[in-house]
Structure 1
Amino acid sequence: MASRHNPELRAAARHVGRRRFLTVTAAAAALAFSTNLPARGAAGSRELDATRIDSDPFTLGVASGDPLPGSVLLWTRLAPAPFEPDGGLPQQFVVVEWELASDESFSAPVRSGTAVAYPEYHHTLHVDVDGLDSDRVYHYRFKTGTWISETGRTRTAPATTAAAASLTYAAVSCQAYHDGYYTAHRHLSQDDVDVVLHLGDYLYEYAVNSAGGQRAYTDRKLPALFNRETMTLEDYRLRYALYKSDPDLRAVHAAHPFVVTWDDHEVENNYAGAISENDDPPEEFLLRRAAAYRAYWENQPLRAAQQPSGPDARLYRRLQWGTLAQFDVLDTRQYRSDQVYADTKHTGGPLQDDPARTITGAAQESWLIDGWRATQALWNVMPQQVCFSQRKLDLTAEPKMSMDAWDGYRASRRRILDGAKSAGVENLVVMTGDLHAAYAFDIKDDFDDPASRTLGTEFTATSVASGRDGAEKPSTWDTYLKANPHLKFYDGRRGYVRVTLDRQKARADFRTVSAVTTPGAPISTAASFVTEAGDPGLKPG
């Protein structure tokens, strides 16, 4: 439990007292005493002369995200010594220049300006560049002192009323640093996609030893400060520094804009709302969640609307790609009811169908269905975290299912599917992470009746590294395919899924690498599937 291992959390919780933690909102106030916010323009603020930075501050690369028709969010962090708690910079703000151009050599500049990297935000920058042309590719970089960052490539979305002809996106998830190399990210950085969806488990809270776990480093040694579970704001910040120091992750961020959402490991395994895996006192866990959420926002290309307030953050949001696609990005962790029976595999029972239980929360559920009712898009894409389709895990009369996935929240899933039907959604595509395997499902109106109507398609991105190398046919391969007739594909190797949408069809290519415990493995397409617009149901591609 957190209280046994984390005196900082325990002291913070004791300072506030349990009786004040009657709601999640109350914990937001608790965070103020332990982690300060930037005093923008305050009399005591001091600027660091950037010419005094004597080593490269752009060690963690650049990133962009959430492309809109006229704007894109640019990110970087200043950290000359990323494995030090302060990143190698004093508690002073730094002025940083940014540039946006239509070419990689910056001979055709488009926009430029300055931004301030505050120490209270760990010298991260979130620059929301607006006034841009829609449906355009841009290049960007940052400068401070004598240092220039690497160049990133990004793009804006088509105008909301534009009849975009096509869109190609990739989906990735689950990148446990200690389980292997990010070879899939390197290949994805060289792939021709418009945007990347990261579906959660960007970070893992588990300790990473000096050899980098399965990476088994012999030419370097990681600091001992990584060899502990993340609990405090400093812990989470340092862990992001470790992950973002990976050259393959830096490459894919520089190559494509990202749309990110979290799952559980960005905070703690299998947490549910304000309930921790080990049932820690809420006043302690919410302080940990607040630290994790803050570090997540600091280290991702997210706009100010997603900035946390204590342990709360509005991560669910909507993006459009002209009239071709609408993306409804979900958060199935922050608002969910606690898991029933068990967090993972269990035969389940009537509580799975309790209408009082939810995986999205009532507000997000209404927001999703209302958005479907108003949509003008041909394809409705729902990036989210855990398996949406029914997934029986054995062939018994009362099979086990994952209580952490939508199978543990069947009433919640039923409301979403009924909402899609009532809204007239014809081309639903659910994008999923979490499972460390590639799956392709037909989403059925009644999963226990193979003849029932197909309402959409679910593509599950396998992990980037989590689970180590994996196998083309895991030991459960035959069982899962027999137990779930709506499951059309299952592969246990690492990689990503690439989806191309056009006016006639959606095509998914499952890209897999042969190994991640050794670097440099080749990539290949394990399988391809197509679902036609207006006629849901997967066919070999």
Structure 2
Amino acid sequence: MKRRDLLIGGMGLGATLAMPRLAFGQTARFDRDPFQLGVSSGEPTSTSITLWTRLAPDPLVPGGGLEPRPYAVDWVLASDEALGAPVARGTAIATPEMAHSVRVTVQGLQPGRHYWYRFTVGDATSVTGRTKTLPDLRLSTGQVRFATASCQHFEQGLFVAYDHMVEDDVDFVLHLGDYIYGVSRGEFRHHTRKDVPVTLEDYRLRHALYKTDPHLQKAHASFPFMAVMDNHDALKDVDLTPEALAQRAAAYQAWFEHMPMAGGYTAGSRSIYTHGSLDFGDLLRLNILDTRQFRDNEDLCREAADPDYGFTIYRPACADVTAPGRTTLGAAQEAWIADRFATSRQRWNATASSVLFAPFAMQHGGDTFRYESSWDYYPENRKRLIGAMKETGLSNPVVLSADIHSNWAIDIPEDPDEPESAPIGSEMLATSISSGWPQPLDAPMKDNLTYNPHVHHYDSSQRGYMLHDVTPESWTTAMRVVDTIESAQAKVSNQARFAIEHGKAGVQKA
């Protein structure tokens, strides 16, 4: 069962849980707003949406400042901003076992339209959020506008880029990972504790801190979010000690508790469904990959690394890297994405990867170095995906990626071993919301652009997001960057714009 298949188990239109209201604190009174972490929506389909909130009147203390008991939370979804025309309402139960988070999947909605929603508990009412369903699968879709974002380190700056995303009025946001950071590295503002989270309560407090950012809250309340995890959201999956597995389970549970996901997670589990697919009528199929949970060990070839080069995450590719069965997706997910390619009838087909998909070679000390976290350390898996694109005749493949805190526009070579070979698709890699890209990592990439002619743009100097406008005839990406991450009045501009023409692989300046 995949993440979006779980939508069918959600609450039906207008359904209400049959719970004794007083027994669950419906008459609760609060000295502080229990909705301090805002509201959010996600998992859109053409007829459903998942709504989220979490009760936490004191979000930066263990337990969020609530008694460890259930609370009944009323919700309403309406077709107007004033909530005067409700189409669904009900009651959900916020339990301490899930950090008093609430998620409700509302079904039976109209395709391609906005809805507004709100939560109430006792004498407290949340802000009103706005969301949107996907277009009707049976009809032609003229345009989709969405943003890709990633890598928001709380200590390194404000998440002010989200304000401009709201002004751009996107249909949804695709967050490609590093929603939180475990490591403390920055002086603009501070984590409440410097230590890396270990326990479930540690991770809950870290997520709560990030959710207090007003720019992030504004975006969550304005449009649906889809999200996957990258390495800073949880541990790298190579340590199988009992301590590491317990820490990973804590990270996964806290991540789920703070995301507008319909399902796919059981409390205490060391795995979570985060991959899935969205169809926007006949225009766009978006496949969202999980490149972290099921990958084979990336920590190879360490003995060949240069300790003075790229913090040793740039390394030569030793023989183990090219093992035929080596994978970053796992066999089940590989079969799933191949099926999504084969069954697509959409004009555009985007594949979301948290890390760089296209090859990038760095010449150093007479050897070719690669970035160990990218698909370059899983070359056989990449060849299998490119092979599936070719075999299925996939229409207009586009990869959306992040992780490197910089903006890239890339042609994906049909033969990754030959970067000058004809492109089979295009890749747009988005810069970070606030996380910097240090000079020891930046310089090797800048210095090696001439060896990578398929890379048309690389710039790590600015923070922001990518804005994608998709029509039947073209895909246009604006690299939206802010002039500062230290002021809420930051201005936004386009660092560059690139376009892809229907039926013509590869990017060009727009």
Q: What is the TM-score of this pair, normalised by structure 2?
A: 0.90
Cα deviations by residue, 1:47-103 (Å, 9 ceiling, x for unpaired): 234433232100000000121010001000000000111101111111111111122
Give distance in 2, aligned partners of 1:336 and 1:307.
21
User: Corresponding residue for 1:481?
Assistant: 449
Conservation of the 8 A alpha-carbon contact between 2:162 and 2:219: yes
Conservation of the 8 A alpha-carbon contact between 1:200 and 1:263: yes
Q: CA deviation at 1:352?
A: 2.2
Q: For structure 1, which runs of at least 5 residues remain unmatched after alignment?
A: 1-39
Rate the CA distance shift 1:49–1:161 in 2: closer, same or farther, 3 A. Answer: closer
Alignment coverage as a number of residue pairs: 481
- Please tell me the root mean square deviation across aligned C-alpha atoms, in Å: 2.2
Q: CA deviation at 1:414?
A: 0.5
- Paired letter, 2:301: Y
Conservation of the 8 A alpha-carbon contact between 2:249 and 2:269: yes
Q: CA deviation at 1:401?
A: 1.0
Conservation of the 8 A alpha-carbon contact between 2:38 and 2:53: yes
Alignment pair present for 1:63 and 2:32 = no
Q: Which moved more, 1:474-483 or 1:422-431?
A: 474-483
Q: 214, 238, 246: which one pairs with 2:213?
A: 246
Conservation of the 8 A alpha-carbon contact between 2:156 and 2:189: no
User: Corresponding residue for 2:476?
Assistant: 507
Give distance in 2, aligned partners of 1:113 and 1:41.
10
Conservation of the 8 A alpha-carbon contact between 1:426 and 1:536: no
Give distance in 2, aligned partners of 1:450 and 1:345.
19
Conservation of the 8 A alpha-carbon contact between 2:250 and 2:268: no
User: Corresponding residue for 1:215?
Assistant: 188
Give distance in 1, aligned partners of 2:53 and 2:197.
22
Rate the CA distance shift 1:42–1:108 in 2: closer, same or farther, 3 A. Answer: closer
Give distance in 2, aligned partners of 1:194 and 1:306.
26
Conservation of the 8 A alpha-carbon contact between 1:98 and 1:140: yes
User: Corresponding residue for 1:302?
Assistant: 261
Alignment pair present for 1:491 and 2:477 = no
Give distance in 1, aligned partners of 2:327 and 2:105.
34
Conservation of the 8 A alpha-carbon contact between 1:395 and 1:479: no
Q: For structure 2, which runs of at least 5 residues remain unmatched after alignment?
A: 1-16, 303-311
Q: CA deviation at 1:350?
A: 2.3
User: Corresponding residue for 1:357?
Assistant: 326
**Secondary structure of 1:52's match?**
coil
- Paired letter, 1:458: E
- Paired letter, 2:318: G
Conservation of the 8 A alpha-carbon contact between 2:76 and 2:88: yes
Conservation of the 8 A alpha-carbon contact between 2:55 and 2:101: yes
**Secondary structure of 1:141's match?**
strand
**Secondary structure of 1:187's match?**
helix
Alignment pair present for 1:77 and 2:46 = no
Give distance in 1, aligned partners of 2:241 and 2:419.
43
- Paired letter, 1:536: A
User: Corresponding residue for 1:32?
Assistant: none
Rate the CA distance shift 1:477–1:256 in 2: closer, same or farther, 3 A. Answer: same
User: Corresponding residue for 1:201?
Assistant: 178
Give distance in 1, aligned partners of 2:56 and 2:390.
49
Give distance in 1, aligned partners of 2:405 and 2:351.
19
User: Corresponding residue for 1:437?
Assistant: 406
Give distance in 2, aligned partners of 1:536 and 1:101.
42
Rate the CA distance shift 1:518–1:524 in 2: closer, same or farther, 3 A. Answer: same
User: Corresponding residue for 1:233?
Assistant: 200
- Paired letter, 1:78: L
User: Corresponding residue for 1:398?
Assistant: 367
Give distance in 2, aligned partners of 1:164 and 1:309.
41
- Paired letter, 1:118: T
Q: CA deviation at 1:109?
A: 2.0
Give distance in 2, aligned partners of 1:372 and 1:309.
33
Q: 123, 142, 164: which one pairs with 2:119?
A: 142
**Secondary structure of 1:100's match?**
strand
Q: 380, 388, 405: which one pairs with 1:411?
A: 380
Q: CA deviation at 1:396?
A: 6.4
Rate the CA distance shift 1:428–1:98 in 2: closer, same or farther, 3 A. Answer: same
Q: 388, 396, 400: which one pairs with 2:357?
A: 388
- Paired letter, 2:502: A
Alignment pair present for 1:257 and 2:230 = no
- Runs (4 or more) in structure 1 with deviation over 4 Å come to 40-43, 306-309, 473-478
**Secondary structure of 1:400's match?**
strand
Give distance in 2, aligned partners of 1:518 and 1:480.
34
Conservation of the 8 A alpha-carbon contact between 1:445 and 1:454: yes
**Secondary structure of 2:506's match?**
strand
Q: Which moved more, 1:71-80 or 1:417-426?
A: 417-426
Q: What is the TM-score of this pair, normalised by structure 1?
A: 0.85
Give distance in 2, aligned partners of 1:139 and 1:509.
28
Conservation of the 8 A alpha-carbon contact between 1:341 and 1:403: no
**Secondary structure of 2:355's match?**
coil
Q: CA deviation at 1:395?
A: 6.5
Q: CA deviation at 1:394?
A: 3.6
- Paired letter, 1:96: V
Q: 242, 251, 260: which one pairs with 1:283?
A: 242
Cα deviations by residue, 1:438-485 (Å, 9 ceiling, x for unpaired): 1111001123434422111111111101117x89x9645642321210
Q: CA deviation at 1:393?
A: 2.9
Conservation of the 8 A alpha-carbon contact between 1:134 and 1:159: yes
Q: Which moved more, 1:48-57 or 1:285-294?
A: 48-57
Conservation of the 8 A alpha-carbon contact between 2:281 and 2:346: yes
Give distance in 2, aligned partners of 1:285 and 1:42.
38
Conservation of the 8 A alpha-carbon contact between 1:447 and 1:486: no
